Structure 1
Amino acid sequence: MSIVPMIFTSGWASGINAYAVVLLLGLFGRFGGADSVPPALERTDVLVAAGVLFLFEAVADKIPYVDSAWDAVHTVIRPVAGATVGALMAGHADGSLGEVAAGAVGGTTALLSHLTKASLRMAVNTSPEPASNIVVSTAEDLSVAGIVTLAVFHPVAAASIAGALLLAGLLLVWFAVSRIRRFLERRRERRALRAAAAGAAQPAAGRR
């Protein structure tokens, strides 16, 4: 069976939460008997590191603006993780896909899903309350867990869902761009108003 659907799905999921992908795949490989999981992901040190980093992300990803800073830091990390997992899977499989090509598939898919997530989070951060961040982050975590689990047992079905979600996310980004632009414009206007108010206050203070 071709490993491509599994690589595509893990790449999509890595762009959203790379640590969850490594942790889940490692656990499935080590305790669930998943033959498609490379032994490198089943190592104890890898599982512990992925688990700790997943906990950090679970907190940071639910705090407004902290989540966007976290996403910025992971612009490189998530695609690299997607490429690495893809290459490991290809090397562990029957050789139907070269490791370089698998890394390209996983890394490119991870980059697209990461950029989609980061863009949508910027739009969510324009909301004045933190509940929306918590809801969106939790939905992302559950989606990653569900689709990675499905991919272990039904990789083609999981890849189809991941592809549909990626397309839907890109369409949402298209609509969210205008909202982000309006938010940035309002912020610039507020800064201009504060600067104008401060400039008007200085002469008044001098006349006293």
Structure 2
Amino acid sequence: MSVLAVLLLLEFIADKIPAVDNINDIVQTVVRPAAGGIVFGSGTSAQTAAIQDPGAFFTSGSWVPVAVGVAVALVVHLLKAGTRAAANAALAGIGAPVLSVAEDVTSVALVVAAILLPVLVLVALAGLAVVAILVVRWGRRRAIERRAAKALAATL
């Protein structure tokens, strides 16, 4: 638990520093999917057995939850790392602390909600999806209005 606490502290601090967060994401490309596979694989059965025969492990199908966990964690990690890299490039690094704090708050809120009310997580995610769709539609509408105003100004 002490090692996890130190890693959490390092992750928390590294995510706030613009160049360091990209380096951390590169290093974590191996760690996060592996951890996701282990957690997902161990969460699918009541008993975690030691692997005595790797051949039996693969023929029994016990590897499927581990592979799913690795895939899900890798996709989430790549989305996070890509978003962070793009934000740092676009905003000259000033977006790193803002994104990191938003990620921290969202993570804590979702974990607490998942423990207390799992259905609440689905409702919250659905709500966030609706808000995201509305924001995108609003942005598109504003862009169309701006183009129309420029076209009108050009004709006058």
Same fold (TM over 0.5): yes
Structure 1 runs not aligned, ≥5 long: 1-46, 173-208
Q: TM-score, normalised by structure 2?
A: 0.63
1:61 pairs with 2:19: no
- Which secondary structure state, in structure 2, belongs to the residue aligned with residue 91 of structure 1? coil
Shift of 1:142: 1.4
- List, as ranges, runs of 4+ consecutive aligned residues in structure 1 with deviation greater than 6 Å: 163-166
Structure 2 residue aligned with 1:81, among 35, 40, 56? Answer: 35
- Percent identity of equivalent pairs: 38
Question: Map of 1:48-197 to 2, 5 A cutoff?
Answer: 48-92=2-46, 99-126=62-89, 127-130=91-94, 132-158=95-121
- Which secondary structure state, in structure 2, belongs to the residue aligned with residue 125 of structure 1? helix
- Which secondary structure state, in structure 2, belongs to the residue aligned with residue 148 of structure 1? helix
Tell me the distance in 1 between the aligned counterparts of 2:66 and 2:128: 21
Amino acid at match of 1:151: A
Cα distance change on mapping 1:83 and 1:71 into 2, 3 Å: same
Q: How many residues align?
A: 117
Cα distance change on mapping 1:61 and 1:49 into 2, 3 Å: same
Shift of 1:101: 2.8
Structure 2 runs not aligned, ≥5 long: 48-60, 137-156
Task: Check conservation: 1:147, 1:162, Cα contact below 8 A.
Answer: no
Cα distance change on mapping 1:128 and 1:116 into 2, 3 Å: same
Cα distance change on mapping 1:99 and 1:137 into 2, 3 Å: farther
Q: TM-score, normalised by structure 1?
A: 0.49
Amino acid at match of 2:45: G
